[in-house]
Amino acid sequence: MSKNLPQLCVAVVGATGMVGRTILKVLEEHALPVGRLIPVASIRSVGKHVEFMGKQVEVVDLDTALSMGPHVALFSAGGPLSLKWAPKFAAAGITVVDNSSAWRMSDAHKLVVPEVNGEVVEMEDLILANPNCTTMQLVMCLKPIHDRWGIERGVVSTYQSVTGTGQAAVEQLNGERSGMDPERVYPHAIDQNCLPHCDVFLENGYTKEEMKVHQETKKILGDPTIGLSCTAVRVPVLGGHSESVYLELASDVELDEVRAAWSAFPGVVVKDTPKDNVYPMPRHAQGEDEVFVGRLRRDLTHPRGIHFWVVADNLRKGAATNTVQIAEMLVKAGRWG
């Protein structure tokens, strides 16, 4: 970014959590013009320090952070906290980018992936929602397809890393792999296992995670007619979500044209030469901001059906990177002069 941009005071709410720590790392790497960082966490972490740009910065509580008047607050501390505190920050004129589910499906708030629908953001929007990590990487690949060929319906199966649940889930997996009997976050062992159970089950038989993909995709792409169903599975991987995607399109398509559309879309990387064993894998996505797509092929039964495979680091583009990109987009738009 230009050195002439205004220096920002940035609060990171949930700075000591997995996503919060990743936000701090992304802020450093993306060179957002942060003149002052305000790390915010729960009472038990107040007074501790986080490292940012080679310096130790003291953690404060939410009341203190609000009184310090940051330009923008990047929230990643859960829905209940966001519901209580985001309006207080917004009332003080502070822009909030929220990484919880609190505001995603609110009609009064924008659900934003800058590359996909950044144009929906207006200057008066003070609370902006970050999508679910699973939806995030999906819509990055759906957007260029839907714009050109139209998506009628789709089926998504996800293979989600334990980091999507948090540090306690990582400790469960590592403990099981070490032969211990750790405290369980999941109802069953996760090592050497797959759990078709992400979030809680609802009355319709789907989980909340699966319904997020169904609902958020419609909102982000701005088309309520897209029919999308999901099965979400937790797998014993430490970083990176994978998705198997099947789509039925509204018009005929050539596969090379889909690859070209992906290649031209910012933030999407095509890895699709399976004869050479080149395809996206979570191991290669860890620590990367891009969304990786491959294994593109035609359906064997539907003339306009296609299948593909999508992978991204759920802590990066799925959470922290998108949060920072929204702030970057607002800086470029001149929100803070």
Nearest to 319 by CA among 95, 8, 26, 96: 26
Annotated catalytic residues are 133, 241
Helix, coil or strand: residue 54: coil
CA distance 247 to 286: 26
The encoded tokens of residue 202 equal 């609802």
Nearest to 98 by CA among 13, 219, 209: 13
The partner residues of 333 in beta bridges, in order of sequence, read: none
What ranges in 68-164 are assigned the alpha helix state H? 79-91, 114-117, 133-148
Phi, psi of 109, rounded to the nearest 5 degrees: -130, 145
Q: How far is CA 292 from the centre of its chain?
A: 14
Nearest to 131 by CA among 276, 306, 319: 319
Q: What is the CB neighbour count within 10 angstroms for residue 237?
A: 21
**Element containing residue 324 per DSSP (H, E):** helix 321-332
User: What residues have CB less than 8 Å from 262, skipping those under 6 apart?
Assistant: 141, 144, 268, 270, 293
Task: Write out the DSSP string of 4-27.
Answer: TSPPEEEEEETTTSHHHHHHHHHH
CA distance 38 to 27: 13
Helix, coil or strand: residue 188: coil
Q: What angle do CA 287, 52, 127 make, to 5 degrees?
A: 75
